[in-house]
Amino acid sequence: MPSSPDLKRFYALILHILGARVPHVARVAELEFVALDLFSKLEIKMLIIDELHNILAGRTDTDSQREFLNLLRFLGNKLQIPIVALGTKEAYLAIRSDDQLENRFEPFILPPWEYNEEYLCLLASFSKIFPLKHPVALTESGLAKKILERSDGKIGEISTIIKKAVIWALLYRGEYLTEDVFDRIDYQSPVERRQQIERELNN
């Protein structure tokens, strides 16, 4: 979902992702026609819309929000394929504001990561993309648990911790990523950040 609720930007982004040329002066109806035509020709099986809560950004009135809710209903009817919408709690509340849409979307809350086989597979996938000559095994029990604890089990935080460690190793360790590097990076967990903000606000 674009950063602001705009139908033209939404369709233009879809066309760009599908590799189609996007006329700068095209109207929404024209972009919509081309997008739907491509969905049919390419036999798209599923539409996944990330950052759905962005429909709440922009104008203070609800016109643009209502436009996008109508758009979701329209695409569901027209495409006849599953639509997956990802977002924060605000995105879910926006869906709930439309009775017809609420009946079409089954909510599923993504839980925090836990220390299990799936989590270790996630860490292993990060290891495969390291631009390092000597990376440490992220799946090693002590390190894996340390990353999980500091990140509160949030995928974005896990990614941030690992990226910061890799950058630190590239800059200061000659491409050696060891467990102690994770203690040296400049990183605060979500809990630590909240505590710091609360301390500053109370001063």
Look up tokens 């990614």; give the residue: 159
What pLDDT was estimated at residue 58? 56
**Could you say which DSSP state residue 7 is in?**
H
**Range in 8-17, 45-54, 55-64, 132-141 with the lowest mean pLDDT:** 55-64
Domain ranges of the chain: 7-104, 117-202
C-alpha 24/C-alpha 199 separation (Å) is 49
Q: For the whole model, what pTM was predicted?
A: 0.68
Give the residue with greater pLDDT, 143 vs 3.
Answer: 143
* pLDDT at position 187: 92
Residues 51 and 86 sit within 8 Å (Cβ to Cβ) = yes
At residue 62, the pLDDT reads 67
- Span 184-203, average pLDDT: 86
- Could you list the beta-strand ranges (E) of 9-160: 47-49, 83-85
- Angle between the N-to-C axes of helices 117-127 and 141-151, in degrees from 0 to 180, rounded to the nearest 10: 100
If phi > 0 it is left, if psi is from -120 to 50 it is alpha, else beta; for residue 152 that is left
What mean pLDDT is predicted for residues 29-44? Answer: 92
pLDDT digits (tens, 9 = 90+) for 39-87: 999 999 999 999 998 888 755 556 778 888 889 999 999 999 999 999 9
- Over residues 110-122, the pLDDT tens digits come to 899 999 999 999 9
Average pLDDT (146-158) is 93
State residue 41's pLDDT score. Answer: 93
Which pLDDT belongs to residue 128? 85
pLDDT at 159 over 90: yes
